[in-house]
């Protein structure tokens, strides 16, 4: 397991050099631990920096607890962005732990500001992403086992499904300190206010009753 996590982190570092630098500003100091107190430092990347003389090892430590998968999707994404882990400020990376119940799904979604490296820590996942119109919306999918890694390129719609009979766990590494997430079904059918049914009916080429049904559903958000 240590080897697979190491591979994931190496890939993440490579991505942060080639991708994150174009989006997250490159740091001009060793670190900038985020704080909310405006008296403690300089405003950088949406956060104030903690006085470097007051920074401790604990500022670079975070424990990711297991997520509760008792929900309609059977999965829970525990995000570790700069908002949860101030030590990430200006470093251009973030993490997430994803827990899956048997047959649990992390539904199709996209990260508007990051490429993702997914490492399976436990279980068996079917993962995939859909390329853009430029590449004929090709589906790239693979079944992953413990210790295996898969990359979801920047901005592509992607998903993970636990195809095993046991719980599964994955570690997601992202090339932005605040990658964002857009869950496709929730965004389209649960927007506030709702998208006009005329738009969705024509886009999906289905009856208005189907769109009305979808817009009445409770679209669960598995991100915490």
Average pLDDT, integer, range 14-40: 65
User: Residue 211, class by beta-carbon neighbours within 10 Å (0-12 exposed, 13-18 middle, 19+ buried)?
Assistant: buried
Residue 125's DSSP bridge partners are 144, 162
Residue 176: closest CA among 60, 87, 88: 88
DSSP-derived 3-state class of residue 61:
coil
User: Residue 61, class by beta-carbon neighbours within 10 Å (0-12 exposed, 13-18 middle, 19+ buried)?
Assistant: exposed
- The confidence score (pLDDT) of residue 100 equals 98
pLDDT digits (tens, 9 = 90+) for 93-118: 999 999 999 999 999 999 999 999 99
Better pLDDT: 91 or 200: 200
Q: How confident is the model at residue 192 (pLDDT cuts 50, 70, 90)?
A: very high
Fold of 2-180: Jelly Rolls (2.60.120)
- The confidence score (pLDDT) of residue 8 equals 55
- The confidence score (pLDDT) of residue 31 equals 87
Average pLDDT, integer, range 74-86: 92
Strand pairing class (168-174; 157-162): unpaired
Residue 121: pLDDT over 70 = yes
Residue 46: pLDDT over 70 = no
SS3 content of the chain, % helix, strand, coil (to 5): 25, 30, 45
Q: How confident is the model at residue 40 (pLDDT cuts 50, 70, 90)?
A: low
Residue 175: pLDDT over 80 = yes
Residue 22: pLDDT over 60 = no
What contacts 203, CB < 8 A, 6 or more positions away?
Answer: none
Q: How confident is the model at residue 20 (pLDDT cuts 50, 70, 90)?
A: very low
Identify whether the C-beta of residue 222 lies closer than 8 Å to the C-beta of residue 77.
yes
Tally of CB atoms within 10 A around 156:
18
Residue 18: pLDDT over 50 = no
Tally of CB atoms within 10 A around 206:
13
């Amino acid at each position: 397991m240590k080897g697979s996590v190491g591979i994931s982190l190496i890939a993440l570092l490579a991505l942060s050099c080639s991708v994150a630098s174009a989006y997250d500003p490159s740091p001009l100091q060793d670190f900038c631990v985020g704080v909310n107190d405006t008296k403690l430092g300089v405003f950088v990347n949406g956060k104030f920096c903690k006085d470097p003389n007051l920074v401790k090892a604990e500022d670079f430590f975070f424990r990711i607890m297991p997520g509760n998968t008792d929900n309609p999707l059977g999965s829970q994404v525990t995000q570790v962005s700069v908002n949860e882990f101030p030590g990430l400020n200006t470093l251009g990376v973030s993490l997430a732990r994803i827990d899956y119940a048997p047959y649990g799904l992390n539904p199709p979604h996209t990260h508007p500001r990051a490429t993702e490296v997914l490492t399976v820590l436990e279980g068996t996942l079917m993962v995939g992403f859909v390329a853009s119109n430029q590449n004929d919306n090709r589906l790239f999918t693979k079944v992953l086992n413990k210790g295996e890694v898969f990359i979801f390129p920047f901005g592509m719609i992607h998903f993970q499904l636990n195809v095993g009979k046991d719980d599964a766990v994955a570690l997601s590494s992202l090339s932005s300190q605040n990658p964002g997430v857009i869950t496709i079904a929730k965004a389209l059918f649960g927007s506030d206010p709702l998208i006009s049914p005329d738009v969705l009916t024509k886009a999906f080429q289905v009856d208005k009753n189907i769109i009305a049904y979808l817009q009445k559903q409770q679209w669960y958000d598995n991100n915490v």
